[in-house]
Amino acid sequence: MKREFIAPEGLFEPMGWSHAIKVDKTIYLAGMVGFDEQRNVVAGGFEAQTIKTFENIKLTLEAAGASLKDVVKLTVYVTDMDNIARFREIRGRYFSPPMPASTGVEVSSLILPELLVEIEAIAVVEK
């Protein structure tokens, strides 16, 4: 079993974890959040954080030789389930049918109190 740890350029530095691990043809992404390159939470609330999170996922997948089309599963953590309809609309900008399997979970908080959304992803590539 071949393992490759993915550390994309242009993404914030992880603290004690890997952004992604590719095992054979499967890529497991750690929970991504709306951090900029300096590890600051992007301004603009839920929508801005969700967009930045998807952009961070896209960047990580590209570093692993994959794309959003390879995503088979998303797990979404939100601090307020009232944002889930907005999340679905934004997700629709990044994915088209058939959509990846997806789970949504409301949590009381994330790693920082300003964070409103975190997304984990699993992708499978042909190579």
If you average pLDDT over residues 77-100, what whole number do you get? 97
What is the model's pLDDT at position 99?
Answer: 95
Share of the chain above pLDDT 90, in %: 89
Backbone angles phi, psi at 35, to 5 degrees: -90, 145
For domain 3-124, is the CATH number 3.30.1330.40? yes
Share of the chain above pLDDT 70, in %: 99
pLDDT at 27 over 80: yes
pLDDT tens per residue across span 40-58: 999 999 999 999 999 999 9
pTM for the model? 0.95
Angle in degrees, CA 17, 53, 7, rounded to 5: 35
Angle in degrees, CA 67, 48, 20, rounded to 5: 35
Mean pLDDT lowest among 5-14, 18-27, 64-73, 116-125: 5-14
- Encode 51-82: b = buried (16+ Cβ within 10 Å), e = exposed: bbbbbbbbbbbebbebebebbeebbbbbbeee
The interaxial angle of helices 84-94 and 45-63, nearest 10 deg, is: 40
pLDDT tens per residue across span 60-86: 999 999 999 999 999 999 999 999 999
Task: Point out which residues pair with 28 in neighbouring strands.
Answer: 21, 122
If you average pLDDT over residues 18-32, what whole number do you get? 96
Q: Which two tokens mark 113?
A: 């109190």
